[in-house]
Amino acid sequence: MNKELNEISYEDSGLEPRILRAVKEMGFENMTPIQAQAIFVFLEGKDVIGQAQTGTGKTAAFGIPILQMTEPEEKNLQALILCPTRELAIQAAEEIRKFGKYIDGVRVLPIYGGQDINKQIRSLRGGVQIVVGTPGRVMDHMRRHTLKLGNLKTIVLDEADEMLNMGFREDIETILDAIPKEHQTGLFSATMPKPILSITKKYQKPDAVFVKVAAKELTIPLVRQYYYEVKQKNKDEVTARLLDYYNPKRSLIFCNTKKKVDELAEVLKGRGYFAEGFHGDMSQAERDRIMNSFRKGFTDILIATDVAARGIDITDIEAVFNYDIPQDIEYYVHRIGRTGRAGRSGRSFTLVVGREIYKIRDIENVCKTRIKARHVPSARDINHAKADNIMSRVKELINDDGRPLYSLIKYIENQLDEEDFNTIELAAALLKMQIGEEVEEMKLDHSWFDSDEYKSYKRSKKDSKNHGGRNKSRGRDRKNYFGGSKNRRRNHNR
């Protein structure tokens, strides 16, 4: 059965209010296609077979209904999610925790190889309702009787094709065979080869619902793409620095929430930029006014949500800023496609916080593109860039025969005769007045690849290579944020 649904907003979905509060805080306004199809099937208690490519929001498609069906009062395992790698297990657990932020009493635990199993055992004994784990470590706990499946209500195989490719089929079937009672089974996979179909036939109910999101050919326009690793608290400052450094004549900034659109618009206007927010909560008259101002050049910077920006069709946008990374790769492609149109060059800048680096890797994989790492411009870079822009305007004025400067030159000569400074000092003082207050240095975030967690992963990966075979596969824990293929770290060039 293939179920098709129109776009659904979370606000109108009827989901648990505490989940909706968390979803809104995370910046998700509309469900992605796989979420719109799978969430409600899960909530009906049916088995689900989901086929969707990387970067479509699959974790929310099963994580949200699992949270809504979990009983906080029952301190035993109610849902088990199997992932091919520990990095994906960690990422999925973190995202589910975020969705369940305002649901008291529900605990989510990732279990995976490479972490002290005794620490995991202590956590499991404390009462965990949702476990996200790799097949090998789940089986280790089953053998130790520290993970009991007797009360399990739901099991999900995430990235099922990837798990089979890594040799986990026997482990998966052992785990599925060990579930003693009636339960709900979800299987998500980018592809549906015969081994996957045989698992669905053997372990899922005959009335399992098949939901599919057609894979789209996502092509990136000819846009120079860059990303910057920053701290969350520095996003406003970094955005301002990039605007000052590159000085685009017309820019579009994307945020994931209407609230952030309003907040950023106020911040930038307070710094003297000609910026306006643009989102669906505004009246039609107000949106028309803002768009006319943007088209005519009275507004240089438009800050918008993805939904609100759909009707924007302006050809000379020089730069697109991803203040927040979208939850769906397709949104990223649509965003940066707003620049570089009609044969013009364009740039896109994406701000990345911590683990969001894996979203960048997913975009590169799916779209067959390269997003280059850049360092945030320093205070000195910004001050020099401002000076260069001013000097460019000065040169244009000097070379403009239609605007003679003779009277002003005579005035300056007279001033120099009366004062104790020279022309260089006078020019430097005037330049400083135009630049305004000098930008101060700020403490920027280090790359996530310099973190202790990533270094620990590298050590475990090195150790796993020494064992070879199946253990080597299980050591492949460098997994991207959306759940796509493993990548090597790219060099961070300036």
Rounded CA gap, 6 and 40, in Å?
A: 13
Cα–Cα distances in angstroms (integers) from residue 423 to residues 22, 203, 414, 417, in the given order: 60, 85, 12, 11
Which of 452 and 87 is assigned the larger pLDDT?
87
> What's the pLDDT score for residue 431?
76
- Please check whether residues 203 and 337 belong to one and the same domain: no
Range in 44-58, 59-73, 386-400, 448-462 the model is least confident about? 448-462
Residue 29, classed as helix, strand or coil, is: coil
Whether 491 is covered by a domain: the verdict is no
Residues whose CB falls within 8 Å of the CB of residue 99, separated by 6 or more in sequence, listed in order: 19, 22, 23, 26, 60, 63, 64, 67
Beta bridge partners of residue 302, listed in sequence order: 252, 276
Q: Which of 180, 212, 244 is the last residue of a domain?
A: 212
Residues in the chain: 494
Cα–Cα distances in angstroms (integers) from residue 100 to residues 62, 68, 76, 356, in the given order: 13, 9, 17, 20
CATH number for 95: 3.40.50.300
The residue among 320, 339, 364 whose CA lies nearest residue 221 is 339
DSSP for residue 190: S
Whether 396 is covered by a domain: the verdict is yes
- Please check whether residues 363 and 402 belong to one and the same domain: no
Reported as a single tens digit per residue, the pLDDT across 152-184 is 999 999 989 889 988 999 999 999 999 988 899
Cα–Cα distances in angstroms (integers) from residue 199 to residues 164, 170, 173, 187, in the given order: 11, 11, 8, 9
Rounded CA gap, 281 and 276, in Å?
A: 14
Rounded CA gap, 155 and 178, in Å?
A: 12
Beta bridge partners of residue 251, listed in sequence order: 301, 319
- Please check whether residues 423 and 354 belong to one and the same domain: no
Domain containing 22: what range?
10-212
Sequence letter at residue 194: K
Which sign does the torsion angle of CA 297, 298, 302, 308 carry?
negative
- Please check whether residues 316 and 235 belong to one and the same domain: yes
> What's the pLDDT score for residue 215?
67
Q: What angle do CA 8, 11, 17 make, to 5 degrees?
A: 130
The residue among 58, 94, 111 whose CA lies nearest residue 355 is 94
Beta bridge partners of residue 305, listed in sequence order: none
Reported as a single tens digit per residue, the pLDDT across 4-50 is 445 788 989 999 999 999 998 887 888 888 999 999 999 999 999 99
- Please check whether residues 372 and 387 belong to one and the same domain: no
- Please check whether residues 284 and 415 belong to one and the same domain: no
Lookup: tokens for 417: 């005769």
Whether 444 is covered by a domain: the verdict is no
- Please check whether residues 368 and 398 belong to one and the same domain: no
Q: What angle do CA 453, 457, 458 make, to 5 degrees?
A: 120
Provide long-range contacts, Cβ within 8 A and 24+ apart, for 100-104: 100/18, 100/19, 100/22, 100/67, 101/21, 101/22, 101/25, 102/18, 102/19, 102/21, 102/22, 103/16, 103/18, 103/19, 103/67, 103/70, 103/72, 104/72
Q: Which of 418, 435, 452 is the last residue of a domain?
A: 435
Lookup: tokens for 83: 């992932």
Q: Looking at residues 379-392, what average pLDDT do you find?
A: 78
DSSP for residue 403: S
| Domains: count for the chain | 3
- Please check whether residues 274 and 137 belong to one and the same domain: no
Whether 426 is covered by a domain: the verdict is yes
Whether 466 is covered by a domain: the verdict is no
Rounded CA gap, 167 and 84, in Å?
A: 10
- Please check whether residues 272 and 391 belong to one and the same domain: no
Residue 66 CB burial class (10 angstroms; 0-12, 13-18, ≥19): buried
State the pTM of this model: 0.61
Q: Where are the beta strands (DSSP E) in 24-180?
A: 48-51, 79-82, 108-111, 130-133, 154-157
- Please check whether residues 152 and 207 belong to one and the same domain: yes
- Please check whether residues 342 and 414 belong to one and the same domain: no
Indicate the pLDDT class of residue 423, thresholds 50, 70 and 90.
Answer: confident
Q: What angle do CA 460, 116, 118 make, to 5 degrees?
A: 165
SS3 content of the chain, % helix, strand, coil (to 5): 45, 15, 40
- Please check whether residues 182 and 90 belong to one and the same domain: yes
Q: How much is the CA Rg of the chain, to the nearest whole Å?
A: 27
Reported as a single tens digit per residue, the pLDDT across 233-259 is 999 999 999 998 888 989 999 999 889
Indicate the pLDDT class of residue 486, thresholds 50, 70 and 90.
Answer: very low
The percentage of the chain sitting over the pLDDT mark of 70, rounded to a whole number, equals: 82
Q: Which of 409, 435, 461 is the last residue of a domain?
A: 435
Indicate the pLDDT class of residue 53, thresholds 50, 70 and 90.
Answer: confident
Whether 455 is covered by a domain: the verdict is no
The percentage of the chain sitting over the pLDDT mark of 90, rounded to a whole number, equals: 46
Whether 485 is covered by a domain: the verdict is no
